[in-house]
Structure 1
Amino acid sequence: MNSEENTDSIPIDFILDILSRLPSKSIARCRCVSKLWESMIRQSYFTELFLTRSSSRPHLLIAVEQEGEWKFFSLPQPKNYLGKSSLVVAANLHLKFFEDKRPHGCSYASSLIYLPNMTIRKKGDDDLRVICNPSTGQYGYVILPPLLDFKSKPYGKFLGFDPIDKQFKVLIPIFDFDKHQTDHHILKLGAETVGWRKIQSPLCYLPHSNGTICINGILYYLAKINYARDENVLVCFDVRSENFVFLRLNTYCSSTKLVNYKGKLGMINQEYVDDGGFPLKLSVWVLEDVGKEEWSTYVYTLRDDNKVDQVKYNLSVVGVTASGEIVLVKKTQTLKPFYVLYFNPDKNTLLSVEVKGLHRGLYAVHRIYAFVDHVEDLEFNIMKTTYAAKSKFSQEDRF
């Protein structure tokens, strides 16, 4: 009796309910069971059901970069750990890339990772950039727009997501030194006919390298508008309408981290009191109202009695969980073990989580990127016509 005959005796809704509780890697393998199973798993109903289940079990996504090699891991975010100060968890490896040796960076939005500086050469095409779903192992390619001349330079390549139309877009600010203006190239991923388009900004600026964050369809990043006066702004780009809003900032430092603070844009500055060690001061600004430019401010201090001996130096904030815990890691790692710290500002407690399996195969200094509240999502139909999205679980999937 084959799998399709077995399926006839079991209600499909029951099968889908069971499958929706599996991890994404298992779902990818289940596609190979039969054509019927593949058809069921590709239904939009199942994709939404899986996303709903996955949203209730958020993970910390960790990207490790070492000499052009990328590895993506995930681990469950701790909950119900009252009375504990330390935990040990195992990291789950999802995806590996072996490409060129240049240093990279990455942009994250709605479960997808964009690697704008990773170059893959494909016969007959220009250099391609990688965008991937680390949970499923699928990845696709993006061709960068041609620059008009050597006087134009891209400053940042950002990934944004519009939750209303469920649309991903790549935004590239380009500074024209001759005209002294900032233009933008924008690409709607998955569009069948529309390629890169050019839109202008009402303000001339240069983005900082603090990274981006996309919250409820708004892509946020920091920028400088006046080098002589050291004036800085928060850029708010509406992914759906493609409109810009600029908010002037009274404070900025290179360690400023943009975070999702309970559904609102947050900025966190960190300041070590003692040469990279504890106490560690965390200054938090939360954007309460964009139109009125209203901010709330909080200051927290991780003191000596909070510290974990192995990781008390050179920590960096990587995000804030939905429950309000500030997450810190060491962004550059050379030694084992690897720790993730969860600071609860309401209770003034610090939980250290030792992560097993992260350093396997690593032999030199490597850089860490981490993204909180990562939700496994099976959706990856953003490359419908440009290129086939490849998966490590099947030979080729075409969307």
Structure 2
Amino acid sequence: MSSSSPISINDLTSSLANTPRLLFAIVENGNENAKACGVWSFFSSPQLENPYEKSSSTTLVAAAEFHVRFSPNNLLINHDYDLKYCSCGYVSGLFYIHGNRYQARPLICNPITGRYAILPDRYTYRKAYSFFGFDPIEKQYKALSMAYYCGPGRNKILTLEDGDLTWRRIKCPIRHDIKSDGVCINGVLYYLCDTSDCCNDAHVVTSDYVIVCFDVRSEKFTFIDVERFCRLINYKGKLAVIYWEDDEDIYHKCFYGKDIDEYLEENLDVDATNELRVWVLEDVEKQEWSKYEYTWTDDRFFRRQVSIAGATASGEIVFSMNKYTSKQPFYVFYFNPETKTLQRVEIQGFGEAFKKPCSVRTFVNHVEDLNLNDLELLKSVHPPLEKPEYVQDSESD
């Protein structure tokens, strides 16, 4: 495939201060035996909002802006792709981490300012799965902690209000094994689960995979049956499930300690055709979906190295590399469903000090709303880790 000189994404974006951005959370895992481990660095870059008119073979360049380097003392926040050991969430400008199962202290932070709050201790058997939601009516953030499905413990919820923070018990009609991070859309938190190994006499389950729908305001659960393992995204304000035609439940495949990266390296055909399926939930009550299929080939797109970050407001689906090392360029990809074209954007400015591959979590549509996320709750200000020398002043070529 032909290539040409990189073009700065800044040249295609006007009024950057008012446009959504990509948020990158890069974590350097530390020694799990230490008192603290896991250093998180937050960056953001301009987000491409409109289809690029020129040839998709052109590589764009976006400058990453460094915000904060973050590692509160005595909190184990190493990243792990296995949801049993690390839950991450992002909603309305705030970032949520629930880390190591042996010290399960959830953390809420503003990834731009570094202000944070460590939530009350939450005892769990093995690792409770955690989610973060926002109610736009009452303007309340809530953390939802679900008990491990085959062990003791109770589901609990916490409302992030000023004053005393307390975990409260909450009942869910079905037991389930969680299979995804959460996606919060218009006050409803969605996540995928598997009920095949659970006894659920009190609720009729017609399929193994179920989407849990949690109304953040009313704190009620409802459920949507789905046919297979998939991922969930916010697609133009609606819930969408997205999957590759040859997708597998990698959490099940890697249940006994198999590294996900190793599994993909060994099992995913590098020459596989990218057959993407997107189902958009049009009617929640009737559970009616619009179903779309997209197929493309691109020798710059290596599926085993990327994860699905979400979709922009204009409907472009964003894929991001899930590892970063200074030895290789870091890319995000924008897939335009209307034109069925793929646009590659190189993110520059992360720096040179990440000698080992670091995990990267990428979130779309980041807009900082100080009216919402500058809560009194976030009273703690992390002693700022100095801007690393390896983080260059962001300038695009």
Structure 2 length-normalised TM = 0.73
Q: Give CA-to-partner distance per residue, 1:247-287, whole Å, 9 cap, x none.
A: 111121xxx32110110001110246970345311111111
From 289, 296, 299, the counterpart of 1:295? 289
Give 2:237's aligned amino acid: G
From 373, 391, 395, the counterpart of 1:380? 373
From 113, 120, 123, the counterpart of 1:143? 120
Report the equivalent of 1:155. Answer: 128
Q: How does 1:210-289 map to 2 (within 5 A)?
A: 210-227=180-197, 231-252=208-229, 256-271=230-245, 275-277=269-271, 279-289=273-283
From 339, 351, 360, the counterpart of 2:352? 360
Q: How does 1:296-315 map to 2 (within 5 A)?
A: 296-304=290-298, 307-308=299-300, 311=302, 314-315=305-306
From 194, 198, 203, the counterpart of 2:174? 203
Task: Indicate the SS of the match to 1:352.
Answer: strand
Give 2:324's aligned amino acid: Q
Instruction: Using the TM superposition, give the Cα deviation of residue 354 of structure 1 relative to its aligned residue in structure 2, in angstroms.
Output: 0.8
Work out the CA distance in 1 between the residues paired with 2:171 and 2:77: 34
Work out the CA distance in 2 between the residues paired with 1:342 and 1:354: 11
Report the equivalent of 2:263. Answer: none
1:368/1:178 CA distance change after superposition, 3 Å: closer
From 124, 136, 140, the counterpart of 1:167? 140
Give 1:73's aligned amino acid: F
Work out the CA distance in 1 between the residues paired with 2:279 and 2:154: 29
Report the equivalent of 1:9. Answer: none
1:108/1:277 CA distance change after superposition, 3 Å: farther
Percent identity of paired positions between Structure 1 and Structure 2 = 39
Task: Indicate the SS of the match to 1:192.
Answer: coil
Unaligned runs of 5+ in 2: 1-14, 30-37, 80-85, 199-205, 248-267, 386-397
Report the equivalent of 1:185. Answer: 156
Instruction: Using the TM superposition, give the Cα deviation of residue 325 of structure 1 relative to its aligned residue in structure 2, in angstroms.
Output: 0.4
Q: Give CA-to-partner distance per residue, 1:271-321, whole Å, 9 cap, x none.
A: 4697034531111111111211111111111213xx427x56533221111
Q: After the TM superposition, which of the residue ranges 347-356 and 188-197 deviates more from structure 2? A: 188-197
Report the equivalent of 1:46. Answer: none
Report the equivalent of 2:203. Answer: none
Cα root mean square deviation, aligned: 3.0
Work out the CA distance in 2 between the residues paired with 1:277 and 1:376: 40
Instruction: Using the TM superposition, give the Cα deviation of residue 392 of structure 1 relative to its aligned residue in structure 2, in angstroms.
Output: 5.8
Contact 2:149 2:177 survives alignment (8 Å): no
When Rg is computed on C-alpha atoms for both structures, the one with the higher figure is 1
1:78 aligns to 2:48 (yes or no): yes
Unaligned runs of 5+ in 1: 1-52, 121-125, 395-399
Task: Indicate the SS of the match to 1:362.
Answer: coil
Contact 1:153 1:174 survives alignment (8 Å): no
1:296/1:142 CA distance change after superposition, 3 Å: same
Q: Give CA-to-partner distance per residue, 1:130-151, whole Å, 9 cap, x none.
A: 211112222221113345xxxx
Higher helix share: 1
Contact 1:189 1:383 survives alignment (8 Å): no
Work out the CA distance in 2 between the residues paired with 1:187 and 1:356: 38
Contact 1:185 1:198 survives alignment (8 Å): yes
Q: How does 1:17-56 map to 2 (within 5 A)?
A: 56=18
Aligned residues: 322
Work out the CA distance in 2 between the residues paired with 1:191 and 1:206: 32
Q: After the TM superposition, which of the residue ranges 290-299 and 162-171 deviates more from structure 2? A: 290-299
Contact 1:176 1:183 survives alignment (8 Å): no
Work out the CA distance in 2 between the residues paired with 1:171 and 1:55: 32
1:360/1:257 CA distance change after superposition, 3 Å: farther
Greater length-normalized contact order (CA 8 Å, ≥ 6 residues apart): 2
Contact 1:153 1:176 survives alignment (8 Å): no
Instruction: Using the TM superposition, give the Cα deviation of residue 118 of structure 1 relative to its aligned residue in structure 2, in angstroms.
Output: 6.3
Contact 1:95 1:137 survives alignment (8 Å): yes
Work out the CA distance in 2 between the residues paired with 1:153 and 1:238: 26
Work out the CA distance in 1 between the residues paired with 2:17 and 2:285: 30
From 361, 368, 380, the counterpart of 1:389? 380
Work out the CA distance in 2 between the residues paired with 1:155 and 1:119: 8
Q: Give CA-to-partner distance per residue, 1:3-60, whole Å, 9 cap, x none.
A: xxxxxxxxxxxxxxxxxxxxxxxxxxxxxxxxxxxxxxxxxxxxxxxxxx98940001
1:343 aligns to 2:335 (yes or no): yes
Higher strand share: 1
Work out the CA distance in 2 between the residues paired with 1:299 and 1:101: 38
